[in-house]
Amino acid sequence: MQLTPRLLLSAYCEGIFPMAHEDGQIYWYDPDPRTILPLDTFHVPRRLQRLVKQAVFTVKVNTAFTAVMQACAAPAPNRETTWMSPEIIEAHTRLHHLGFAHSVECWQNGRLVGGLYGVAVQGLFAGESMFSLVPDSSKVALVHLVMRLRQGGFQLLDAQFMTDHLRQFGATEIPAADYKQQLACALSVSAHFGVNS
């Protein structure tokens, strides 16, 4: 089954997302419980607030989407394998060219050092993955993402699975049925991710 833009968008609208396994096969996930980052109660630790204000990183949007995905897929400490196959990267890059997938990037001295990407449909932003080559760079990208989502009128930031990294920002797990209700509300809203930079 080819990961066409139509198939991917239909899946996200049903609360389903793809991941590749080590055998190269694509599997579809619909977690229960589901992790979300509530936009209205998103928590930024004080130390991170100071770092954001210091503008240690130059934050850009949608200037290196595929490079962000490739960095997210690269082996890292405690993660030798990845769920992001070349097919996943190619499919989401196509979504990006159609205006449905976005990256938030942290740059330092002209080098991409951290960032994240996800899929935006109506008032839903499905956060897919993040990476950090310099401490806290992915966290700064997440703070900028949430600011942009709030400004654009988004209603739901889907984080899929809970991690300690997300918990510090106020991430919460909710039953899949509750997620589907929030998803339906988000898909009824017209939101705007904003201009590239």
- The secondary structure of residue 197, as a DSSP letter, is -
CB 5 within 8 A of CB 72: no
**Residue in the structure block whose two tokens are 């589901």:** 34
Those residues whose C-beta lies under 8 Å from the C-beta of residue 81, and which sit 6 or more positions away, are 22, 75
Predicted confidence (pLDDT) per residue in 90-142, tens digit: 999 999 999 999 999 999 999 999 999 999 999 999 999 999 999 999 999 99
Q: Is the dihedral of CA 113, 9, 98, 196 positive or negative?
A: negative
The answer on pLDDT for 83 being more than 80 is no
Tokens of 74: 């690269």
Predicted confidence (pLDDT) per residue in 8-64, tens digit: 999 999 999 999 888 878 999 999 999 999 999 999 989 999 988 898 999 999 999
Query: CATH number of 5-187: 2.60.15.10, 3.40.630.70, 3.30.70.270, 3.30.160.20?
Result: 3.40.630.70
Average pLDDT, the chain: 93
